[in-house]
Amino acid sequence: MGATDITLDRAYLAAIWLETLFYGMNIVLFCACIYILVAKRRTPKVNKYLIAIAVLMFSFSTCHVFLGFYRLIMGFIVLRDQPGGPAAFFSDVSIPANVAKVGLHTVNSIIGDSVVVWRCFLVWGRNWKMCLLPIILVCGSAICGFGQTVYFARGQKYHSAFAPALVRWNGSLFSLSLATNIVVTGLVALRAWYMLRLTGGVAGFRYWRILVIIVESGMIYSIALICEVTLYFLGLNSFYIVYDPIGQLTGIVPTMIIILAGLHLTSNDVQSRFSRTQPVTSLSAPRFRPGKTTTSDGTTTSDIQLDTMHFSTVDSSFSKRKSAPGLSANDLDDAEAGETKNVFITPLDERTVQH
């Protein structure tokens, strides 16, 4: 333990307190997720897959915090008078409750990483080639995670998560999980930022675009993993203060992504809505150019002139004829013959004049 580090029992106590705080957030998000997917859904059928994933992650997060409290009670109350006290109890990584806790953490991490990769797959237009590297990294994380669990179960002689035999598995797991989230974060953030840039003129979208990118890319989870990996390779007990709350973040971040998808607030949905409204906006909101007009008495007044609006060729259907008020029948016939007319709109009398 370094001079700036804290004792293991204090680190574990702080870790459980933080995990409980994150678990409260997890409860609220899980309830909101189920409500949105079931009661406020915008599709005829309930998405059973998303609900199953949300329920599974919340169940694992609940078991994780329950096992953490169980170890807390055993170490500080039931076995506090054992040789070495609480610090010796928490250093024994082979305790069944700790092995089960590590296994749940691994499974939840794999599910959470898979949800983030799935989001990346959708953001990139279902292009699996963009997700090939993250998929390989998730598979590597799964192998290292289950290998770590086996070594923890056989680790009676280690009595430390920083033992060299465990560092290989733990370090590989943490590094692969961090690499997965960094790659996916970069891919999703790049694509989401590009798509949301196209909505820069839409006032209703531009204020929360950063939040969408942060949540959708799993950036919060990536930052937590950076802290976890750094503290672990430094061999500090404060690593546990980050490690246990991450057991809740593995459920919180994917649940937030599912909520965004259920509310149709993801970057894909913003781009779809913008694409539908863009043609209407371009016709109904022409650009204005300020100008000056000199009246008969010599005074100068400011007015607004409209740019020329070029309308496409009119089809020869009756509905197209009715949809062009202000144009004569001869004008429509000329349009049907392939002649393109320039139409000017004057702001003074709001009448359409043929030029």
Helices 209-216 and 267-284, interaxial angle, to 10°?
Answer: 150
- 2 falls within a domain: no
- Strands (E) across 40-168 are located at none
What is the pLDDT at residue 213?
A: 62
Residue type, 329: A
Residue type, 124: W
Same domain for 191 and 322, yes or no, is no
Same domain for 120 and 229, yes or no, is yes
Instruction: For residue 63, give the 3-state DSSP assignment.
Output: helix
Same domain for 302 and 219, yes or no, is no
Contact in structure between 54 and 30 (CB atoms under 8 Å)? yes
Same domain for 269 and 291, yes or no, is no
Number of domains in the chain: 2
Compute the average pLDDT of residues 125-145. 90
Question: Would you give the DSSP letter of residue 128?
Answer: G
What is the pLDDT at residue 303?
A: 42
Q: The domain containing residue 342 runs over which residues?
A: 287-354
Does residue 231 carry a pLDDT above 50?
A: yes
Strand partners, 260: none
Whole-angstrom Cα distance, residue 65 to residue 71?
10
Compute the average pLDDT of residues 114-139. 87
Same domain for 122 and 97, yes or no, is yes
DSSP string for 129-164: GGGHHHHHHHHHHHHHHHHHHHHHHT-TTT-STTSH
Digit-coded pLDDT (tens) for 55-85: 999 999 999 999 999 999 999 999 888 888 8
What is the pLDDT at residue 324?
A: 45
Containing H/E element for 308?
none
Same domain for 271 and 291, yes or no, is no
What is the pLDDT at residue 211?
A: 61
Residue type, 257: I
Whole-angstrom Cα distance, residue 146 to residue 150?
6
Lowest mean pLDDT among 67-81, 103-117, 153-167, 332-346: 332-346
Same domain for 232 and 332, yes or no, is no
- 219 falls within a domain: yes
